[in-house]
Structure 1
């Protein structure tokens, strides 16, 4: 016998999600639909073969049209020093002002790569699923760059926090999580 699911109030859900710490990232895009970017914590690894990330974007986001039409993104993993930049990309600031606040380069897709981020995952959007107010983007990683991850920025309890290692040697490739 199948039980009927109870509705969970959106505020109760948001309050519970505040207990789930998550890495803070800036997701960027560039192409014929324009350059855009937004701060995101709803990102995770799907698989390492082929390397694929899941990125959630609100369809009401100012970056939504550019992201979905360009079909490329770069997930820039932020360190503690990027908190002000995260706030900038998470606000109502025009795209040109957001990008003027930091140095950027590119990898394979042309999506902006933050010059001093912990890691950058350059991706092509392989698939999209609509869920509620968001699109879930399945992003195939076509290039990456790792700059070091000693003090990453996370969001937990509706506030920014820093996590990291005390010995930078501990942040080497052998510390990577299995993407399975």
Structure 2
């Protein structure tokens, strides 16, 4: 599979943008929270991420962004395959655990093995992925991965990150009315 990068604009900004202001403004966009995990040197390794998105339906591709300072991303990259566990609303402590360095991130966590690596038992969805491309982008790496297999739970709500806080998705009354009339 061949992915190409094209420069479509000059990367110069119209003004100096403070990184904390940038983070604050983009924090107004809610994101899901996931754990990326693989087995490296016979042990499970993983990291939390909220910068993940669908890229393509055919072929099925996702993108995830990892900071250049991440000590876990190189381990995931070296294995070329990883499992994405979509965290449930009650997984805030797990997200925080997988965000800390220098700890046993899988300590006390219930998980099972999928073809591409460890999957959290009570996540609401799982994606088995294979890395197909990486692109340097500022202080992060954009990794594109092909989805090899996937599964989801029958119910549950996703953990959401919004304006620096965790929460959960709650449908609007309009959404509820549509479901009830269907």
1:62 aligns with 2:71: yes
Shift of 1:92: 2.2
Give the CA RMSD over aligned residues: 2.2
Shift of 1:151: 1.5
**Please, which of 78, 84, 87 is the counterpart of residue 93 of structure 2?**
84
Alpha carbons of 1:149 and 1:22: their partners in 2 closer, same or farther (altered >3 Å)?
farther
**Please, which of 35, 41, 57 is the counterpart of residue 26 of structure 1?**
35
Unpaired runs of 5+ residues, structure 1, are 171-180
Distance in 1 (alpha carbons) for counterparts of 2:40 and 2:170: 34
Shift of 1:56: 0.7
Shift of 1:82: 1.0
In the alignment, which residue of structure 2 is the partner of 1:5?
Answer: 13
For 1:108-143, what per-residue CA distance to the aligned partner results, in whole angstroms no more than 9, with x for missing partners?
22x111111000111000111011111111010001
Distance in 2 (alpha carbons) for counterparts of 1:103 and 1:33: 17
Shift of 1:38: 1.0
Quick check: 1:85–1:101 contact (8 Å CA) kept in 2?
A: no
Alpha carbons of 1:12 and 1:33: their partners in 2 closer, same or farther (altered >3 Å)?
farther
Name the SS of the counterpart of 1:67 in structure 2: helix
Unpaired runs of 5+ residues, structure 2, are 1-8, 177-182
Please show how residues 137-152 of structure 1 align to structure 2 within 5 Å: 137-152=143-158
Name the SS of the counterpart of 1:54 in structure 2: strand
Distance in 2 (alpha carbons) for counterparts of 1:64 and 1:43: 14
In the alignment, which residue of structure 2 is the partner of 1:176?
Answer: none
**Please, which of 76, 89, 112 is the counterpart of residue 118 of structure 2?**
112
Quick check: 1:33–1:70 contact (8 Å CA) kept in 2?
A: no
In the alignment, which residue of structure 2 is the partner of 1:44?
Answer: 53
In the alignment, which residue of structure 2 is the partner of 1:174?
Answer: none
In the alignment, which residue of structure 2 is the partner of 1:125?
Answer: 131
Distance in 1 (alpha carbons) for counterparts of 2:137 and 2:114: 30
Distance in 2 (alpha carbons) for counterparts of 1:131 and 1:69: 19
Q: Aligned pairs, how many? A: 163
Shift of 1:106: 2.2
Alpha carbons of 1:149 and 1:49: their partners in 2 closer, same or farther (altered >3 Å)?
farther
